[in-house]
Amino acid sequence: MGKRYYITTPIYYVNALPHIGTTLTTLASDITARFQRMRGKTPHFLTGTDEHATKVAEAAAAAGKTPIAFTDEIADQFKAIWRGMNIQYDDFIRTTEERHRAVVQEVFRRLREKGHIYLDKYEGWWDVTTETFYKESELVEGKSPDGNEVRWVEEENYFFRLSAFQNQLLEHIEAHPDFILPEVRRNEVIAFIKQGLRDTCVTRKNTGWGIPVPDDDSKVVYVWFDALINYISAIGWPEGNWEEFWPADVEWMGKDILVRFHATLWPAILLGLELPLPKTLYGHGWLLMGGEKISKSKGNVIAPLDLASQYANSMGGCKDLAVDAVRYYCARMMPYETDTTFTLEDFELRYNTELVNDLSNGIHRVVSMLGSFCDRRIPDGEVIESVKSAAESLVSAIAEDLERFRIDKAMDGVLRLGTVLNETIDREKPWDLRKNGDARLADVMITLAWLVRVLEGVLRPITPVFADDIASLLRLAATESWEGIGHGIAPGHEVSAAKPIYLRIEKQQSETQVKEKTEPVVNEITIEDFMKVQLRVARVLDAHRVEGADKLLKLDLIVGDERRQVLAGIAQQYAPEDIIGKQVVVVANLKPRRLRGLESQGMILAADASDGGAILVVPDREAPEGTSVH
Ligand code: ME8
């Protein structure tokens, strides 16, 4: 087998469960792996847990457990949460595993033999929260530069000759512009190294938790030295086929652990071992909440699966689709150079405006129209050239962005494809083409179906369940390769009946489902009276709010071959996006009347809710538009 495309996340401390911040990095890796697989590479995606930290032993003691019993539980929960988030890692490493311990000891032994590790006395300040050593001069008002408590430590310890690698490291960074990304981080690293790298203490006194130093078990290996080695211990270095994996193609992480650890200590260890350096170390920004980094120690944590569960019902009831909504949001918010802020309001807003309106509803409109205008079959037309080239260049740009790890920019591209889809519908007005018997309808509808197929392909690495649902609406297999994006839309191919994938989050949704009060029936009529009312199945092609009338929606209906404009007092219960594509029942022979200066050519049926609102009456299954209702 050729070289694998090797992707890593940091290995997370097990003193806390994954939150939306750690999810961001793991998701970035998952998206990279899924994308690279579509590009024809064989990815190898590693994640795991960092278990030897002092604070882990302390958290275990606080929970009344042995450290290993504690970490076993948490590591299992990490795996379950990642599975729940549809993260497809290939390997999960725990630093308490024997395969890791043996490699850490081997690295230590080799570096000591080469003289890169030596024994000396350590005196200094120790930050337990970040497991970092500081000199007196580095403290800020008696605390670490991050504001954490520090402890004074005086021990005989082993030191790693980090200073010896300073020039080699700078040369490597300067010769490889993609080694540290984004550029702002690269500049920070260069400035940090130029200040002068100090030899760093790589052992601690053995208090029973950690990997013992070979031939000196009074000490354990420093947790960062131990943890960084996971990237090679997991691939079995120095035995077996590790060269199929190494060097890593991308190591994803937050900016907090780039400068002091991944961009200095880690490459220096590799240089000491005479191993090649990772191709890219990518340090993204943070997700903030209330102006602070989301983190366990700040207590402002949101768990990704809780977020999905909280919204699953209002999004349509499917947990996996709700997970994709969280994946969508994290990908969309992927902080590049600066940090981004998470709020529930923003989550709901982006969900409603982007995932529902721009993407899911756009797709729904197309599948509905394929049903209404084309008997659910892809018509025999030609994809419109200008739309095709606009979409194809967006697809290439998305690929370039994902190759360069710019998930944020790739998400802009995905949304722009949604805009191309909606603008094409609005510009071409397929309902008019159909009404006028215009042959161009076939070209427009095949173009729209093709755009939906393109969206399915580009969304696949980001929201795989949403992509599966789109594929099943099109009755096509999943798009497996990036080159295959847009394939499979052939004239005559039959698609499924339309069904919206995502529903809008309505804050009031649960509150309006109150029990209805029934009214006694009065004033009997005869069947002849009833037959005077012509009820017909209609489809809502478009819907808009009416300015100045907060209860009214202006609906564009198709009833048989006819278009109707109907005003309905349902705006407080239904957003335009909720109702577009739905079938309804219309009173077709009601005398037109004017409301708010607009003509209403009929009335749609709705039940009265007890709060004065409306509950739409919809056919139990799709019926051709214009079908009579009795
Ligand atoms: O540092 N925004 O583990 P850790 C964005 N064990 N990313 C965030 C984040 C936030 N608010 N909070 C956490 C460790 N992260 C070490 C790593 S690797 C050899 C050892 C992400 O559990 C981000 O990737 O503190 C950050 O670098 C990582 O979680 C820190 O995880």
Among the listed residues 398, 68, 90, the one whose alpha carbon sits nearest the alpha carbon of residue 245: 90
Give 62-112 pLDDT, tens digit per residue: 989 999 999 999 999 999 999 999 999 999 999 999 999 999 999 999 999
pLDDT of 419-458, one tens digit each? 999 999 999 999 999 999 999 999 999 999 999 999 999 9
Confidence of residue 507 (pLDDT cuts 50, 70, 90): low
Q: Whole-angstrom Cα distance, residue 220 to residue 217?
A: 7
Per-residue pLDDT tens digits for 527-563: 888 888 999 999 888 888 888 888 899 998 888 878 8
363 — pLDDT class (breaks 50, 70, 90)? very high
Nearest CA residue ID for atom 23, ligand 1: 254
Q: Please, are residues 583 and 623 in contact by the beta-carbon 8 Å criterion?
A: yes
Residue whose CA lies nearest to ligand 1 atom number 2: 286
Q: Is the dihedral of CA 69, 70, 74, 77 positive or negative?
A: positive
Ligand 1 pocket: which of 257, 298, 333 to mutate (most atoms within 8 A of CB):
257
Contacts 24+ apart (CB under 8 A), 241-246: 244/1, 244/2, 244/3, 244/4, 245/3, 245/4, 245/6, 245/44, 246/6, 246/275, 246/276
Residue 170 has pLDDT above 70, yes or no: yes
Query: What integer pLDDT is reported at residue 550 of this predicted model?
Result: 86
238: preceding bond cis by omega (within 30 degrees): yes
Q: How far apart are CA 455 and CA 328, in angstroms?
A: 14
Mutate to test the pocket of ligand 1, among 17, 19, 20, 22 (most ligand atoms within 8 A of CB): 22
Nearest to 252 by CA among 196, 328, 330: 330
User: Does the Cβ of 361 fall within 6 Å of ligand 1?
Assistant: no
- The percentage of the chain sitting over the pLDDT mark of 90, rounded to a whole number, equals 76
Q: State pLDDT tens for residues 22-44.
A: 999 999 999 999 999 999 999 99
Distance 305 CA to ligand 1 centre (A): 18
CA of 59 to the centre of ligand 1 (A): 18
Collect all residues with Cβ–Cβ distance below 8 Å to 91 and sequence separation of at least 6.
Answer: 44, 45, 46, 47, 48, 234
The neighbour count for residue 611, using CB atoms within 10 Å, is 13
Query: 422: buried, middle or exposed (CB in 10 Å: 19+, 13-18, 0-12)?
Result: buried
Alpha helices in 39-158 (DSSP H): 54-62, 67-84, 98-113
Residue 493 near ligand 1, beta carbon < 6 Å: no
The dihedral built from the CA positions of residue 281, 37, 449 and 382, taken in this order, carries a sign that is positive
Weakest-pLDDT range from 264-268, 350-354, 608-612: 608-612
DSSP character string of 457-486:
HHHTTT-HHHHHHHHHHTT-PPP-SSTTTT
Residue type, 316: G
The angle formed by the CA atoms of residues 243, 247 and 249, to the nearest 5 degrees, is 125
The whole-angstrom separation of Cα 539 and Cα 66 is 63
Atom of ligand 1 at shortest range from CA of 25: 24
Task: Sheet containing 281-284: give its strands across.
Answer: 91-94, 43-50, 5-13, 250-254, 281-284, 180-181
Residue 559 has phi, psi (to 5 degrees) of -125, 105
- Residue 625 CA to residue 630 CA, distance in Å, equals 15
Name which residue sits closest to atom 3 of ligand 1, judged by CA.
Answer: 12
Q: pLDDT tens, 457-494?
A: 999 999 999 999 999 999 999 999 999 999 999 999 99
* Whether residue 501 has pLDDT greater than 50: yes
248 lines ligand 1 (CB under 6 A): no
Tell which atom from ligand 1 comes closest to the C-alpha of 12.
22
What is the Cα–Cα distance from 50 to 16, expressed in whole angstroms? 11
Side chain identity at 42, as an amino acid letter? T
Strands 91-94 and 117-127: unpaired
Burial of 49 (0-12, 13-18, 19+ CB in 10 A): buried
Task: Quickly tell me which residue has 């603008």 as its tokens.
Answer: 423
Say if ligand 1 is within 6 A of residue 286 CB: yes
402 token code pair: 């994902």
Q: How far is the CA of 255 from the centre of ligand 1 (A)?
A: 9
Q: Whose CA is nearest to atom 14 of ligand 1?
A: 12
**In this predicted model, what pLDDT tens digit does every residue of 110-123 receive, in sequence order?**
999 999 999 999 88
Neighbours of 72 (CB within 10 A): 16
CA-262 nearest atom, ligand 1: 19
Q: 534-563 burial by CB neighbour count: b if 16+ within 10 A, else e?
A: ebbbbbbbbbeebeeeebbbbbbbbbeeeb
Give the span between the Cα atoms of 75 and 47, in whole angstroms: 11
Over the range 212-229, which residues count as b (16 or more CB within 10 Å of their CB) and which as e?
A: bbeeeeebbbbbbbbbbb
pLDDT at 612: 72
- Ligand 1 within 6 A of 285 CB? no
Is any atom of ligand 1 closer than 6 Å to the C-beta of 228?
yes
Instruction: Indicate the pTM of the whole model.
Output: 0.82
The protein residue with its alpha carbon nearest to ligand 1, atom 8, reads 21
Minimum mean pLDDT among 106-120, 133-147, 276-290: which range?
133-147
Instruction: Render pLDDT for 228-258 as a digit per residue (tens, 0 to 9).
Output: 999 999 999 999 999 999 999 999 999 999 9
Quote the ligand 1 centre to 28 CA distance (angstroms). Answer: 13
- Give yes or no for residue 469 CB within 6 A of ligand 1: no
- DSSP H stretches of helix in 256-406: 266-272, 304-315, 319-332, 344-350, 362-374, 385-403
Q: How far is the CA of 286 from the centre of ligand 1 (A)?
A: 9
Residue nearest to atom 9 of ligand 1 (CA): 21
Contact predicate 449/489, CB 8 Å: yes
In angstroms, rounded to a whole number, what is the distance separating the alpha carbons of residues 153 and 52? 18
CA of 50 to the centre of ligand 1 (A): 11
Question: How far is Cα of residue 583 from the mean position of the Cα atoms in its chain?
Answer: 32
Q: Probe ligand 1: pick from 12, 104, 264, max atoms within 8 Å of CB?
A: 12
Please give the pLDDT value at position 510.
32
CA nearest 490: which of 335, 382, 355, 363? 382
Q: 574: which 2 tokens?
A: 């239904």
Task: Say if ligand 1 is within 6 A of residue 287 CB.
Answer: yes
Ligand 1 center from residue 48 Cα (angstroms): 12
Q: Which of 71, 211, 256 to mutate to test the pocket of ligand 1 (most atoms within 8 A of CB)?
A: 256
96 three-state secondary structure: coil
Atom of ligand 1 nearest to the CA of 261: 19
Q: Is 502 in the pocket of ligand 1 (CB under 6 A)?
A: no
Residue 518 predicted with pLDDT over 70: no
In short, whether 253's Cβ falls inside 6 Å of ligand 1 is yes
**In contact, 448 and 471? CB cutoff 8 Å:** no
- Band the pLDDT of 520: cuts 50, 70, 90: low
Q: Is 10 in the pocket of ligand 1 (CB under 6 A)?
A: yes
Ligand 1 proximity of 222 Cβ (cutoff 6 Å): no
**pLDDT for 511:** 33
Cβ–Cβ < 8 Å for 343, 404: no
Which residue reads 């909720």 in tokens? 578
- Kindly indicate the confidence band of residue 521, based on its pLDDT and cuts at 50, 70 and 90: low
Are the C-beta atoms of 272 and 116 separated by less than 8 Å?
yes
* pLDDT score for 514: 30
Cα–Cα dist 560/537, whole Å:
8
Distance CA 482, CA 252 (A): 22
Q: Which amino acid is present at 505? A: I
**Any atom of ligand 1 within 6 Å of the Cβ of 97:** no
The CA 288 to ligand 1 mean position distance, Å, reads 13
* Per-residue model confidence as pLDDT tens digits over 372-412: 999 999 999 999 999 999 999 999 999 999 999 999 999 99
CA–centroid distance, 501 to ligand 1, in Å, is 33
pLDDT over threshold 80, residue 570: yes
Measured in Å, residue 260 CA sits from the centre of ligand 1 at 14
